Structure 1
Amino acid sequence: MNLNISGHHLDLTDPLRDYVQLKMQRVERHFDKMLDAHVVLTVEKQRHKAEATVHACGGNLHAEAVEGDMYAAIDQLIDRLDRQTRKFKELSRDHHAKEAQKHVFEQ
């Protein structure tokens, strides 16, 4: 997966970039059909905002989180993306394949 990380009113440090990459691996683990992701980290006064758009086969996922700490915002963002990817994967799964196998084994 191609991962783009950018900062708005924020200097992206290597530890921050590594933290986002490490956390995005959790989302990749659940859903392997992701093409690319774009993560934007923004600071406005005391608001730390993290938002991500993930392009996958069959659709796009978007999530954002606002916290007082950037690392907490990234954690919350990944939790939301993880929930969305599991739901997207469940919806894209073919549920009728189980029924077809069931009928084959009954005969």
Structure 2
Amino acid sequence: MKINLSGHHVELSDTVKEHVNEKFSKLASHFPTLIALDIIISKEHGEFDVEISTQYEGSRISASAENPVMYPAISKAAKKLDAALKHRKGQLKGDLHKKPECTTPDIAHEIIQEMDLR
């Protein structure tokens, strides 16, 4: 899985990159069709904002979190993304709109045809 990491008004050190890779390494094993993550870490007004977006099975999934400290913000966003991906995976696995099977017996049609309806 490819992780595209960018920082806005934040310097991304090697430790931050390692922390991000550690947090999102489990997602690659749980969701093998996940190809790439776009992660934006920005700092505004003393708060770190982490925004994550990805494509999963034809739909766009995104999560974001805020915290005065960067590492908890990354962890919160990772948990939110994991929950959103699990929700989408459940939607795909669920048989939501099955067509109901016909409950009338096959003989009923023949009996109605033979009846004298006046």
Taking structure 2 as the reference length, the TM-score comes to 0.75
Single out whichever of 74-83 and 86-95 deviates more from structure 2. Answer: 86-95
| RMSD, matched Cα | 1.5
Query: Map of 1:52-91 to 2, 5 A cutoff?
Result: 52-91=52-91
Number of equivalent positions = 96
- Where is the strand percentage greater, Structure 1 or Structure 2? 1
Q: Which residue number corresponds to residue 8 of structure 1? A: 8
**The structure with more radius of gyration:** 2
| Structure 1 residue 54: Cα displacement | 1.1
| Structure 1 residue 30: Cα displacement | 2.1
Consecutive unaligned residues of structure 2, counting only runs of 5 or more, are 97-118
Contact map agreement 1:52 1:63 (CA 8 A) in 2: yes
Cα distance in 2 for partners of 1:8, 1:79 equals 22
| Structure 1 residue 94: Cα displacement | 5.1
Taking structure 1 as the reference length, the TM-score comes to 0.82
- Where is the helix percentage greater, Structure 1 or Structure 2? 1
Q: Which of 1 and 2 has higher RCO (CA within 8 Å, sep 6+)?
A: 1
Query: Map of 1:27-42 to 2, 5 A cutoff?
Result: 27-42=27-42
Q: Which residue number corresponds to residue 17 of structure 1? A: 17
Q: Secondary structure of 2:35's partner? A: strand
